[in-house]
A and B are shown apart, each in its own frame.
Chain A
């Protein structure tokens, strides 16, 4: 198995090769780990690499396929750092439920990926474990907080990864690294054994090269079937909502062109385009901040009391702000969230999915993340969560899939959100577009 072969393979391809014994699990694992060993010193996608000889598994349906997990998930006997020095020496005695489900299905976990410290940020500029660099241009960020997972999947350092998403942390790095990232419905995937950021907003989900691969992983980690079967390629008559408000404002020109073209493709595939007004936009960021900040502080209080200097300055600041907020505003935010969710439920009687850009910009350079982009004043880092966090507030399933490349060969993402627990339709639309567009076949030069 050559490096070039590894770069081309999807998870489904790799499983097929293993199942048909065209390659053995140790051979495939060795090839993947060799690639990690070669690329990781620069790319910083992994915090911990796990030697495969200790844990090669052959069980179906995954037959020992190499995968990774964000270093927020517990993996028995391997440290969970959460991307922080605060958790030094924390070695779990059990697997997170989602990890256990993958291992029971025959996955080989080859490593734990880098992330924005404690998942509280979108750049994965990690002061302790290095910057998880973008596979398409290492001078740029991979996004975050699951930046290491996105980089690993994009570069063939494993055939899929588990990420987490509290404000966009699966979908943003997926968009910036040219892969597929699915944030399922709130509550769909177990968070047991995953270090929390905000209990009310946290979601766990797959990051893969293709929509089919995401469907395979979600079936395994949820224990529910039917996701791969939903990928019929037929979206004739599917009602696609295109927001009039907010989600198409202040886009970088390449993103605007790419998403327009993607919508036209959906229409050609038989989807019915319907213009909609998304409710709750004016208050959704306040809702998110008033819920995420105190919940995050609540979890971290005991660690901040003892180890505050060990935190990176940005994450410490975000956490500490959470202790100075009013409890009445937390309750107000939870009540407003109920209202926006109900309004969304009514909106989703008119359409089957909502389509938006995942991010208004492609990956920024590392030194530019905290500078205004375009004509300002919004910083690049702030822009990255602009279209994703709404779907954490309302808990709807949302996927990011590649929808084009800039002239600098940087990937851009399209976000498709759906009804609660209707990941089936989200995946079906994403898959049909993916097959027609072919963007996921592109690979970085590295």
Chain B
């Protein structure tokens, strides 16, 4: 089973740069203790 969604599998160099940036930023997010905080409501009524 593929571990990535989508039919095309190669990431472009631009995508790899973006991915590196996101992963660097996410380190800080993973250090936060969110206790029992629920996710934000994703959708609002029209």
A residues adjacent to B (C-beta < 8 A): 97, 186-187, 190-192, 199-200, 282-283, 285-287, 289-290, 293, 297, 301, 304-305, 308, 313-314, 316-321, 323-325, 329, 331-339, 341
Contact of A186 with B44 in the complex, beta carbons under 8 Å: yes
Chain A positions within 8 Å of B18 at CB level: 293, 317-318, 320-321
Chain B positions within 8 Å of A337 at CB level: 39-40
Chain B positions within 8 Å of A324 at CB level: 4, 11, 15, 19
Chain A positions within 8 Å of B29 at CB level: 283, 286-287, 290, 329, 332-333, 336
Q: Which of B15, B16, B25 sits near A286, CB closer than 8 Å?
A: B25
Chain A positions within 8 Å of B39 at CB level: 331, 334-335, 337-338
Q: How far is the CB of B7 from chain A (nearest CB, A)?
A: 4
CA gap between A372 and B30 in the complex, in Å: 29
B residues adjacent to A (C-beta < 8 A): 4-8, 11-19, 21-22, 25-26, 28-30, 32, 34, 37-40, 42-46
Q: How far is the CB of A383 from chain B (nearest CB, A)?
A: 15
Q: Which of A293, A334, A336, A341 sits near B42, CB closer than 8 Å?
A: A334
Q: Which of A187, A305, A317, A329 sits near B44, CB closer than 8 Å?
A: A187
CA gap between A72 and B20 in the complex, in Å: 29
- Residue on A nearest B5 in the bound complex, by CB: A323
Q: How far is the CB of B45 from chain A (nearest CB, A)?
A: 7
Chain B positions within 8 Å of A297 at CB level: 5-6
Q: How far is the CB of B39 from chain A (nearest CB, A)?
A: 4
Contact of A317 with B40 in the complex, beta carbons under 8 Å: no
Contact of A97 with B46 in the complex, beta carbons under 8 Å: yes
Chosen A-B contacts, 20 in total, with CB atoms closer than 8 Å, are A186-B44, A200-B40, A286-B26, A286-B28, A286-B29, A287-B29, A290-B22, A317-B15, A317-B16, A320-B8, A321-B11, A321-B15, A323-B5, A329-B26, A329-B30, A332-B29, A334-B42, A336-B34, A338-B40, A341-B40
Chain B positions within 8 Å of A325 at CB level: 19, 22
CA gap between A190 and B45 in the complex, in Å: 9
- Residue on B nearest A285 in the bound complex, by CB: B25
CA gap between A331 and B30 in the complex, in Å: 11
Q: How far is the CB of A53 from chain B (nearest CB, A)?
A: 33
Beyond A338-B39, A339-B37, whether A289 also contacts B30 by CB under 8 A is no
Beyond A317-B15, A318-B18, A335-B39, whether A305 also contacts B7 by CB under 8 A is yes
Q: Which of A313, A336, A339 sits near B14, CB closer than 8 Å?
A: A313
Contact of B46 with A192 in the complex, beta carbons under 8 Å: yes
Q: How far is the CB of B24 from chain A (nearest CB, A)?
A: 9
Chain A positions within 8 Å of B22 at CB level: 286, 289-290, 293, 321, 325
- Residue on B nearest A280 in the bound complex, by CB: B32
CA gap between A323 and B16 in the complex, in Å: 11
Contact of B34 with A332 in the complex, beta carbons under 8 Å: yes
The 8 tightest CB contacts between A and B, nearest first, are A317-B14, A187-B44, A334-B39, A320-B15, A321-B18, A286-B25, A286-B29, A317-B15
CA gap between A308 and B16 in the complex, in Å: 16
Chain A positions within 8 Å of B25 at CB level: 285-286, 289
Contact of A332 with B8 in the complex, beta carbons under 8 Å: no
Contact of A335 with B45 in the complex, beta carbons under 8 Å: no
Q: How far is the CB of A370 from chain B (nearest CB, A)?
A: 11
